[in-house]
């Protein structure tokens, strides 16, 4: 294994880690307008991700930075091709951040409604756009001999890319619904369980379509890779466990399913990093887009030192904010929308 191969694996792991952490984050953002029947309940739902959402998004920055440093050729072609899509992605990220800060600046129902739907739409837009981008990597884009994208913005909306975006959005919804069951009590908990049961069925169907398209539509062979089989079985298990109210196990199975789905894109892609539909000779590969060996060596040392520290810190943060939240009864004090003692009945296994 070369250092280029190693850093391709690192990039794939970073994207997998980002989606495991952010999927439930996006899912809660999409669902809070529908699961919450009052302003206080919607506040409780947002509070479930309030302490961790910004830390989760750091993984997106790190994944992009790793591509920039380890594979500058890949970064240049991909980000120039997806420039307008990246602008939309940044708008979605900015809107989400502003919502957490400004939603309660004024006690005006119209003001709160505007920001409430802002986070709902942005939370759906972000995983969809990232899914389209990842799907385009595997489907291929028109790239010339200079490794320049020769298509238009609308050329990025390939059918497979759109389906990949839909798949990751639905999986985020499922993980978000299950996460809410782990973080709330009372009526919110019951509603989230019902939502998870229904979304689970849709997630299995959409994911099956995704894996079928990878092997039949993209002609990668009829035999699924072990990671893809694991991902599909995990998502089937997550749907069944969500219906059986085994929330902790359902969350774990869903995380495995999302990891396998995102990871399968990179396993099918390797050793390529971008596919040219113009000519296969113009494909970007690990070898022709990687940084010099010295750069990769320095990056490896830095990663070995810093990444474990980041993981330990983030795990500690989740441990600190592990308590469930509950909404007060009608007419109760709004401050009751805070943590309760963690329940062991449905906690993570």
Q: What is the pLDDT of residue 257?
A: 95
pLDDT > 60? residue 25: yes
Nearest CA among 289, 291, 332, 327 for reference residue 340: 327
Taking domain 3-340, whether its CATH number is 1.20.1630.10 is answered by: yes
**Cα–Cα separations (whole angstroms), residue 327 to 41, 84, 116, 198, 338:** 6, 40, 18, 23, 8
List, in order, residues 6 or more apart from 324 with CB less than 8 Å away. Answer: 182, 183, 184, 185, 339, 340, 341, 342, 343
Choice between 212 and 106, residue whose per-residue pLDDT is larger: 212
Displacement of CA 43 from its chain's centroid (Å)? 22
What rounded mean pLDDT belongs to the chain? 86
Q: Choose among 233, 216, 215, 234: nearest CA to 224.
A: 215
Which residues, 6+ apart, have CB-to-CB distance to 112 below 8 Å? 39, 103, 104
The enclosing H or E element of 273 equals strand 272-274
All residues at 6 or more sequence positions from 159 whose CB lies less than 8 Å from its CB, including other chains: none
pLDDT tens digits, one per residue of 83-98: 888 899 999 999 888 8
Confidence grade of residue 328 (pLDDT, cut at 50, 70, 90):
low
User: Where do the domains of the chain lie?
Assistant: 3-340
For residue 326, the number of C-alpha atoms closer than 13 Å in the C-beta half-sphere is: 13
Residue 106's pLDDT is: 75
Q: State the first-to-last Cα distance of the chain, in angstroms, to the nearest integer.
A: 35
Residue 55: pLDDT band with limits 50, 70, 90: confident
Q: State the CB neighbour count (10 A cutoff) for residue 298.
A: 12
- The CB-side HSE value for 40 (13 A sphere, CA atoms) comes to 15
Phi, psi of 336 (to 5 degrees): -70, -10
- Between 202 and 321, the more confident residue is 202
């Amino acid at each position: 294994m070369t250092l280029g191969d190693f850093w391709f694996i690192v990039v794939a792991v970073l994207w997998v880690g980002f989606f495991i952490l952010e999927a439930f984050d996006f899912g809660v953002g999409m669902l809070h307008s529908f699961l919450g029947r009052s302003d206080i309940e919607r506040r409780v739902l947002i509070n479930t991700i309030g302490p961790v959402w910004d830390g989760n998004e750091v993984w997106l920055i790190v994944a992009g930075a790793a591509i920039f440093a380890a594979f500058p050729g890949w970064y240049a072609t991909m980000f120039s091709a997806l420039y307008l899509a990246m602008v939309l992605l940044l708008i979605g990220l900015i809107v989400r951040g502003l919502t957490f800060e400004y939603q309660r600046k004024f006690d005006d129902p119209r003001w709160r409604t505007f920001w409430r739907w802002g986070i709902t739409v942005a939370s759906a837009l972000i995983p969809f756009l990232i899914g389209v981008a990842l799907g385009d990597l595997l489907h291929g884009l028109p790239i010339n001999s200079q490794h320049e994208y020769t298509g238009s913005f609308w050329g990025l909306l390939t059918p497979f890319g759109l389906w990949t975006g839909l798949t990751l959005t639905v999986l985020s919804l499922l993980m978000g619904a299950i996460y809410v069951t782990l973080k709330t009590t009372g009526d919110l908990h019951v509603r989230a369980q019902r939502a998870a049961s229904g979304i689970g069925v849709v997630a299995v169907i959409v994911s099956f379509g995704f894996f079928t398209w990878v092997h039949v539509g993209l002609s990668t062979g009829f035999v699924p890779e072990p990671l893809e089989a694991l991902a599909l079985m995990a998502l089937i298990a997550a749907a069944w466990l969500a219906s059986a109210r085994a929330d902790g196990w359902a969350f774990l199975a869903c995380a495995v399913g999302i990891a396998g789905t995102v990871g399968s894109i990179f396993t099918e892609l390797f050793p390529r990093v971008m596919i040219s539909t113009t000519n296969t000779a113009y494909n970007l590969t690990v070898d022709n887009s990687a940084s010099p060996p010295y750069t990769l060596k320095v990056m490896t040392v830095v990663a070995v030192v810093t990444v474990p520290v980041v993981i330990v810190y983030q795990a500690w943060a989740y441990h600190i904010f592990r308590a469930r939240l509950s909404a007060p009864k009608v007419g109760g004090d709004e401050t009751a929308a805070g943590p309760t003692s963690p329940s062991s009945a449905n906690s993570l296994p």
